[in-house]
């Protein structure tokens, strides 16, 4: 079983966390694509009803709509029972690094609406300490040089992600060389820097559940972590 098949496994496993008849939050990325496809198949097979979805990106919105699932604006809802999304890294406390798909700001907005964050990921994403994956930071373009210097003072090497403009019109810095031992304090600090729109550490909005696809003796399985 390869990584894509593990993503399909956790995408299907996440269906158990979809409350019938409610609006759900849907994230972004290849693992979430598997969840959206599994959700559409379950609706077609069983008639499972969802009242719609709040999406964190244009990519996910288009995929949901192609499957006939209604997409609502975040401003139309006051709360969500669950938000289902992937992660680039997740630690043993449910803190995550996100933003590889450049949707981190909208992901954090939708996560803030939800009572529970369910992370779906393959086993390669589970780490002891966040930071091996380059940390995405959405920024205002004029602050790029200043923020690069601030990350350098922390031991990080920040580079502008070439050719990327977010759905919000921002740019992305990817920061390498960090070891984020206190994710909540790091997130709180960096979010206050002028020019930062959102830092890709999700500690305040950490996962409550992680469905982790992993290999078991040549076959795939899903391990459930709760935080």
Name the strand (E) or helix (H) holding 139. strand 135-139
Cα separation of 57 and 197, whole Å? Answer: 16
**CA dist., res. 44 & res. 37, Å (int):** 11
Extract the runs of DSSP E, i.e. beta strands, from 27-95: 52-55, 71-72, 83-85, 89-90
How far apart, in whole angstroms, are the C-alpha atoms of residue 61 and residue 179? 33
CA 223 to CA 211: how far, in whole Å? Answer: 6
Which of the following is catalytic: 89, 107, 138, 187?
Answer: 107
Tokens representing residue 65 in the block: 């709509």
d(CA 108, CA 98): 9
107 is catalytic: yes
Task: Tell me the residue length of the chain.
Answer: 227
Half-sphere exposure of 54 (CA within 13 A, CB side): 24
Catalytic residues: 107
């Amino acid at each position: 079983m390869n990584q894509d098949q593990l993503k399909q496994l956790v995408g299907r496993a996440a269906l158990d966390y979809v409350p019938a008849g409610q609006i759900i939050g849907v994230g972004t990325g290849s693992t979430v694509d598997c969840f959206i496809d599994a959700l559409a198949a379950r609706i077609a097979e069983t008639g499972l009803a969802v009242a719609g979805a709040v999406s964190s990106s244009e990519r996910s919105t288009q995929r949901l709509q192609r499957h006939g699932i209604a997409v609502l604006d975040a401003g139309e809802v006051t709360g969500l029972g669950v938000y289902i999304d992937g992660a680039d890294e997740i630690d043993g406390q449910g803190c995550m690094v996100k933003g590889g798909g450049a949707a981190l700001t909208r992901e954090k907005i939708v996560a803030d609406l939800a009572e529970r964050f369910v992370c779906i990921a393959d086993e390669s994403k589970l780490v002891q300490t966040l930071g091996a994956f380059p940390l995405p930071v959405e920024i205002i373009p004029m602050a790029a040089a200043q923020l690069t210097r601030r990350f350098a003072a922390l031991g990080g090497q920040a580079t502008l992600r070439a050719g990327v403009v977010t759905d919000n019109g921002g740019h992305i810095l990817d920061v390498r060389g960090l070891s984020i031992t206190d994710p909540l304090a790091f997130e709180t600090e960096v979010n206050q820097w002028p020019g930062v729109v959102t830092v890709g550490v999700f500690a305040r909005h950490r996962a409550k559940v992680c469905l982790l696809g992993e290999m078991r003796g040549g076959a795939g399985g899903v391990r459930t972590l709760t935080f």
